[in-house]
Amino acid sequence: MTVFDKTKLETELMRIDGKGYPAYKDIKGAYDFGDYTLYIDQVQADPFAAPSRIRLRTAGMDFPSEYWSNRSRRIACEDYITRMLGKAISQISRSKRGSGRSGAIYCMKCGQEVLERTSVRMTEHWVEARLRVGLPADGRRVLGRQAIQMFFFEIREIASACLFYAALDKRALKRAADLYEDQEAIREALDRLGLVAFVANGAVLARESGISDLPMSRERAVAFKTPDTLQVTIHTPHAGAVTGMGIPRGVTIIVGGGYHGKSTLLKALERGVYNHIPGDGREMVITERSATKVRAEDGRRIERVDISPFISGLPSGEDTTAFCTENASGSTSQAANIMEAIEAGTKTLLMDEDTCATNFMIRDEYMRRLVSDDKEPITPFLYRVRELYETLGVSTVLVMGGSGLYLGVADTVIMCENYRVLDVSAQARRIGEELRSADWSVRGRPLARPAGRIPYPESFNPYRGRKVKITERGGNLVFGEQEVVLSCIEQIVDPGQVRALGDLIHYLSENVFDGRTSLTEGIFRAYKEMERSGLEMLSPFSAPEGDYVMPRPEDVLYAISRMRSLKVFKGGDRT
């Protein structure tokens, strides 16, 4: 691409000042601003359309190699710069200066998690920031002079403040990169130590409020303290020895009174599949990557999922080895969610009784007296949870405050009391002895890892009319004519993950799913390709995409499973 001197941009903006908005298309191109190059990749059609796409690429690289030669530190550094861009934009940009989105400058917003993003990219040669800008207009007339103010002063000031090592807070940057490496070291140690999760002493798990992901102040919060019997020390490259609670593989039950911190602990473990920023309080809450939060999900669609280990012998005669429904009940949806998690390869299920179907979780002696087993098609999770671990190696961490029956199947029992954590496994084991003699006969089929479901290639139609329509809306995925509800996939934490998985599904349908490749195999192949080519390979635009955040492969499968257009078959049978 030809790179023009920045004066050409100024001249063009003066020339089109006052003309119709489509004249802005004349400024598309690359411009040399000395220490960085401005790329105007895409120009919006009118001031009310999605903002234009631009990139700022430095002319050289002044960051030490430790920040770009190591993948972990590069991800942390790119995330840190993205946050600094957001802060600089809020301080520098005038935002509104005309019609529609005129004059607004946008950078990806970040939550508490440190995620692989495309908003900033680093190589050994340059740093590149990818922004969106609302080109200024009065009605649908170009405001060229205001655009000059935006490009030559505000964006230049933003670039100078964020894209160069010399301008950044070096201690904060190093802290972010060091912490990310330490978090990865702990995560890698989990498998070696036989753990599914780790919570460090001093962690602040409670959040500011029920609608905020920010940490509760340390003055109000109860800092986490590990029970001696569950204490583990893990050595990290920068923080050294970190001591905390290790949650072992197997069946772990979290008990305690209401409002004593059970769900708060589970929520921290749920988010622990991601690394967190310094100061979040959960920096050293680390969960193995595949851990999946499972819940009941009334009304979801299910497409040929084998739920027979949990539900069989339905009065309607429906085949539960390849169960289909447009409107799942609480129990059938939870059974499907578990079997899809196993299909995705999860090693850990996370469950909270508050969001589970009661009749799926337990069936006590008194109900069995009234409704005999031969009349009940549901095999409760209680009867399968040990088999799940012993047969498939899938651990469970379950919040259960309402039924002591699970004490009879637990390996580890953790009690939350006034936000303090106690190991009551020995006491629970004594209580559980009398439960182990109960007749918990299982009616469903034996648990087995389900065969991969093979999708019809035509299941995925991204077109709305003649145009491809794939976008994120309110946390859900708009894919062609359908809206895929993702609210119950609780470990999707960033709108950029929804945008990425939407385009990933399109990529899979165009390049991978061929009537022979299963969902899991196809997703695995796509992730291997993304390791080589980056998330940008999913973009439908010729210029690099700045709005993607890496989703987990498990969550991609869960999103596809909720598409109402999904049709799957097994082997060569397409009936």
Q: At what angle do helices 553-561 and 519-533 cross, to 10 degrees?
A: 140
Q: Rounded distance, CA 387 to CA 442, Å?
A: 11
Q: Is the pLDDT of residue 302 over 80?
A: yes
Q: What is the mean pLDDT of residues 133-152?
A: 94
Confidence of residue 541 (pLDDT cuts 50, 70, 90): confident
SS3 for 42? Answer: strand
Alpha helices (H) in 345-380, listed in sequence order: 358-361, 365-370
Residue 142 and residue 61 in contact, taking contact as beta carbons nearer than 8 Å: no
- Give the bridge partners for 314, in sequence order: none
Whole-Å CA distances, 97 to 55, 104, 147, 253, 554 = 22, 8, 10, 56, 43
Tokens read off for 518: 């299963």
pTM over 0.85: yes
Q: What is the mean pLDDT of residues 522-541?
A: 93
Query: How much is the pLDDT for 441?
Result: 57
- Least Cα distance to 132 among 550, 548, 546, 534 occurs for 546
Q: Rounded distance, CA 163 to CA 126, Å?
A: 9
Q: Is the pLDDT of residue 363 over 90?
A: no
Backbone angles phi, psi at 231, to 5 degrees: -75, 135
Q: pLDDT: is 274 or 367 the higher one?
A: 274
Residue 444 and residue 311 in contact, taking contact as beta carbons nearer than 8 Å: yes
- Give the bridge partners for 329, in sequence order: none
Confidence of residue 575 (pLDDT cuts 50, 70, 90): very low
Q: What is the mean pLDDT of residues 66-85?
A: 96
How close are the terminal C-alpha atoms of the chain, in Å? Answer: 51
Confidence of residue 233 (pLDDT cuts 50, 70, 90): very high
Q: What is the domain partition of the chain in residue ranges?
A: 3-168, 292-436, 454-569
Residues 6+ apart with CB under 8 A from 116: 75, 78, 535, 549, 550
CATH class of 292-436: alpha beta
Query: How much is the pLDDT for 314?
Result: 84
Burial tier of 138 (Cβ tally within 10 Å: 0-12, 13-18, 19+): middle
Which segments within 237-358 are labelled E, that is strand? 240-248, 251-256, 275-276, 285-287, 292-294, 302-305, 323-325, 348-352
Average pLDDT taken over every residue of the chain: 93
Query: How much is the pLDDT for 318?
Result: 87
Q: pLDDT: is 294 or 408 the higher one?
A: 294
Residue 57 and residue 128 in contact, taking contact as beta carbons nearer than 8 Å: yes
Q: Among residues of the chain, what percentage have pLDDT more than 70?
A: 97
How many CA atoms are closer than 13 Å to the CA of 11, on its beta-carbon side?
6
Residue 454 and residue 322 in contact, taking contact as beta carbons nearer than 8 Å: no
Residues 6+ apart with CB under 8 A from 509: 457, 459, 460, 462
Would you give the DSSP letter of residue 419? T
Would you give the DSSP letter of residue 378? B
Residue 510 and residue 537 in contact, taking contact as beta carbons nearer than 8 Å: no
Give the torsion through C-alpha atoms of 324, 328, 333, 337, to 10 deg. 50
Q: Is the pLDDT of residue 571 over 70?
A: no
Q: What is the mean pLDDT of residues 338-355?
A: 97
User: For the ranges 5-14, 20-29, 108-117, 359-368, which has the lowest average pLDDT?
Assistant: 359-368
User: For the ranges 93-102, 372-381, 447-456, 485-494, which has the lowest average pLDDT?
Assistant: 93-102
Location of structure tokens 């179907």:
357
DSSP secondary structure of 212-256: --SBPPTTTS------GGGEEEEEETTTEEEEEEEEESSEEEEEE
- pLDDT for 240-277, tens place per residue? 999 999 999 999 999 999 989 999 999 999 999 999 99
Q: Is the pLDDT of residue 384 over 90?
A: yes
Q: Is the pLDDT of residue 443 over 70?
A: no
Query: How much is the pLDDT for 540?
Result: 85
Q: Is the pLDDT of residue 144 over 70?
A: yes
Q: Rounded distance, CA 132 to CA 547, Å?
A: 9
Residue 272 and residue 286 in contact, taking contact as beta carbons nearer than 8 Å: yes
Residue 151 and residue 144 in contact, taking contact as beta carbons nearer than 8 Å: no
Pairing of strands 292-294, 348-352: parallel
- pLDDT for 37-59, tens place per residue? 999 999 999 998 999 999 999 99
Tokens read off for 169: 């807070």
Confidence of residue 315 (pLDDT cuts 50, 70, 90): confident
- Give the bridge partners for 392, in sequence order: none
3-state percent helix, strand, coil for the chain, nearest multiple of 5: 35, 20, 40
Q: Rounded distance, CA 406 to CA 385, Å?
A: 9
Neighbours of 439 (CB within 10 A): 7
Task: Give the H or E element holding residue 471.
Answer: strand 470-473
Query: How much is the pLDDT for 572?
Result: 43
Burial tier of 560 (Cβ tally within 10 Å: 0-12, 13-18, 19+): buried
- pLDDT for 399-439, tens place per residue? 998 888 999 999 999 999 999 999 999 999 888 787 665 55
Location of structure tokens 């996939």:
489
Q: Rounded distance, CA 331 to CA 350, Å?
A: 16
Q: What is the mean pLDDT of residues 563-575?
A: 74
Q: Rounded distance, CA 458 to CA 474, Å?
A: 26
Tokens read off for 421: 């954590």
Instruction: List strands edge to edge, sheet with 348-352.
Output: 292-294, 348-352, 395-399, 251-256, 412-417, 420-423
Query: How much is the pLDDT for 374?
Result: 77
